[in-house]
Amino acid sequence: MNRRNGYKYPVHISSEKRRPLNRGQSAKLSNTLGIIAREHIPMPTRWTKLGEDDILPAFDYLSLKLDIVGLDREKKDMVLDLLKNRTRNQRYKLHQRFLKHPTKEEALLDVPSELNEENWESLCAYWSDPKVQEICEVNKRNRNKLSILHNQGSRAFVTLLDELEEKEGRQLNKVEFFPPTHCTNGKWTTPDCEVKYNAMQDLQAKSIEEGSSMTPNECYDKIMGVKSGYDKGFGYGPKPPSKASSTSTRKLEIENAQLKERLGETESEVADLKARMENQEKLLNMLLAQQNMQPPNI
């Protein structure tokens, strides 16, 4: 069945991961959203500048090309989050085009084919603002300082994570997932990646040796640092749980460990009681035998 007969490529978005887990579906959705960002919505100076009327064409085009299974309000927000990222990428490319020209006036003459003149003029005016230029320069310096680089390119981390977990038959923690995304054929993407990974391993070993209750994910966060709404080293992927959620999870883990300990103590007490009852039964049988009496059923 082909598109001419009404077929649309199905895409399943994981509510938990907020992304398609299938590699082909993830790439198809990403490519389609890239086309939308370039050709079907205005290019804003900031995402928040887009109104609802600006976004509607995006979903009109998306509905023609793909079948987002179970597209409700929650999944629409997930799609918008992905579109926001694709729009950011396209705006960066347009900014590089702007920077190739020595003056704003020359840049204005180089209107990209995917934009109208009004949209391009607004972007050029924005990038010519001294305050914006200062922010861009700071961002550039910060990017140059990045020492933790992954090896996944434009591929979504969640698709690789899903494939690895399916292969292993279990969930992977952050420490286990770090080498596949930062090391290729035994070679780390940067020296700092190897340093960070060794530090995670050392912290885990120390935690076990000292009887600490730190989980592998907590060891990862301790070494990599924690930033609200972002898992460092995981690229543009699933968002980490909130601090409140992490605290609640940690509390449940502690309570679960305490319950297991109490259960073990109870089982030990029951076993001890059972042994004592058996000894008493043997003693009673011996006494009855001495009196030539038939032992009762106990």
Structure token digits, residue 297: 């059923």
Question: What's residue 65's pLDDT?
Answer: 92
Question: What's residue 141's pLDDT?
Answer: 92
String of b and e for 91-117 (b: at least 16 CB within 10 Å)? beebeeebeeeeeeeebbeeebeebee
> What tens digit of pLDDT does each residue of 19-32 get?
899 999 999 999 99
Cα end-to-end distance, the chain, whole Å: 74
Question: What's residue 5's pLDDT?
Answer: 62
> What tens digit of pLDDT does each residue of 156-178 get?
888 888 899 999 999 999 999 99
In the chain, count of helices (H) and strands (E)? Answer: 11, 4
Structure token digits, residue 194: 């190897």
What are φ and ψ of residue 67, in 5° steps?
Answer: -110, 95
Q: At residue 225, does pLDDT exceed 60?
A: yes
Confidence band of 250 (pLDDT split at 50, 70, 90): low
Question: What's residue 2's pLDDT?
Answer: 46
> What tens digit of pLDDT does each residue of 182-210 get?
999 999 999 999 999 999 999 999 988 88
Q: Which residue has the tokens 């199905």?
A: 10
Question: What's residue 286's pLDDT?
Answer: 76
Distance CA 285, CA 298 (A): 10
> What tens digit of pLDDT does each residue of 115-167 get?
999 999 999 999 999 999 999 999 999 988 888 889 888 788 888 888 999 99
Comparing CA positions, the residue from 120, 142, 155, 119 lying closest to residue 24 is 155
Confidence band of 1 (pLDDT split at 50, 70, 90): very low
Question: What's residue 30's pLDDT?
Answer: 93
Residues in the chain: 298
> What tens digit of pLDDT does each residue of 58-114 get?
999 999 999 999 989 999 999 999 999 999 999 999 999 999 999 999 999 999 999
Non-local CB neighbours of 75 within 8 Å, separated by 6+ positions: 13, 15, 68
Confidence band of 230 (pLDDT split at 50, 70, 90): low
pTM exceeds 0.85, yes or no: no
Question: What's residue 283's pLDDT?
Answer: 79
Q: At residue 213, does pLDDT exceed 60?
A: yes
Q: At residue 259, does pLDDT exceed 90?
A: no
Non-local CB neighbours of 18 within 8 Å, separated by 6+ positions: 78, 81, 238, 239
Distance CA 99, CA 217 (A): 41
